[in-house]
Amino acid sequence: MSGELSLNINIKEPRWDQGTFMGRAKHFFMVTDPRNVLLSSETLEEARVIVENYRAGIAKPGLTEDELWRAKYIYDSAFHPDTGEKMFVIGRMSAQVPMNMSITGCMLTFYRTTPAVVFWQWVNQSFNAVVNYTNRSGDAPITVNQLGAAYVSATTGAVVTALGLKSLAKRLPPIVSRFVPFAAVAAANCINIPFMRQRELKYGIPVTDENGNRLGESANAAKQAIIQVVVSRIGMAVPAMAIPPVIMNALEKRAFMKRFPILNAPVQVGLVGLCLVFATPLCCALFPQKSSMSVTSLEIDLQERIQQSSPHTTTVYFNKGL
């Protein structure tokens, strides 16, 4: 019937061309939309049913293409791409802006004392640990012991880094001290993400051909994926942690802010939120979600298996995680 929705729409891939930065940016503006955090369990379940039924060749009567894509992006924002499991709410990318806005704003406001630095770095790295685990690549399970060891290593490394940088900043101008949280977060991301995803570095992540057929697991692909995620996360932090300190340094000299110092934290949080609304999706878009690498860059044994099972395959694809 002419009124029925076509079953040939490829919802396994994003709606926009992921070969271009603009296409990826449009995709991630949808995935990281903070409003998705407020969606009810019923709405998420309805989106899951629509998407999974459509993939099975069943279209809900009266469903339009726009409604299908809306369901697809609701589904993508809440369910893991490899396991299909519903993700912990604060670990979803749609929670990045409200969570990071609050935590980063407090880190930039309460940076003068050692207890405050330790507490907010611990809060931030605990949150990052949840995000890194929730958005890991692959479908292999991780034990509680592995998760606990990774969490302790990541948060301890981050806090020690922050304290070391704070100590160095004491001999520098006050404006430099404001950038200690950013430097600490950048350094901590380089520690936290590999620690929380160390199982991938040890055992590899699934790699597929262009049709999605699984070819094996590669640690080399995991290394590339983690490097890309680290770069994206540091990029997300740059505007939110570099711009507000400059603005706040100027505002705090004004009579109005001196008269109402209680406004310091909410103004800082608001500035951070404004930066994150744009930085989060744009930095997620720096690299394709479905990353690729040449077969010749894989481990030798995996190269040999692929040459035997799929001799015409020259490029493999993998979910880099977020």
Higher pLDDT, residue 287 or 168: 287
Query: Given a cut of 70, is residue 232 above it in pLDDT?
Result: yes
| 294, β-bridge pairs | 315
* Span 255-279, pLDDT tens digits: 777 777 777 778 878 888 888 888 8
Looking at every residue in the chain, the average pLDDT score rounds to 81
Contact in structure between 180 and 169 (CB atoms under 8 Å): yes
The DSSP call for residue 322 is: -
**What radius of gyration do the chain's Cα atoms show?**
22
Kind plus residue range of the DSSP H or E element containing 299: none
In this prediction, residues 15-30 reach a mean pLDDT of 88
In this prediction, residue 2 has a pLDDT band, given cuts at 50, 70 and 90, of: very low
Contact in structure between 182 and 233 (CB atoms under 8 Å): no
CA dihedral 148, 99, 276, 15 (to 10 degrees): 80
Antiparallel, parallel or unpaired: β 315-319 and 290-294: antiparallel
In this prediction, residues 32-57 reach a mean pLDDT of 88
Query: Given a cut of 50, is residue 1 above it in pLDDT?
Result: no
* Span 77-97, pLDDT tens digits: 888 877 778 888 888 888 888
In this prediction, residues 204-213 reach a mean pLDDT of 85
Kind plus residue range of the DSSP H or E element containing 187: helix 180-196
Q: What's the pLDDT at 22?
A: 92
Distance of CA 192 to the CA centre of its chain: 13
Per domain, the residue ranges of the chain are 21-86, 93-319
Task: Please give the angle made by the CA atoms of 36, 32 and 223, to the nearest 5 degrees.
Answer: 135
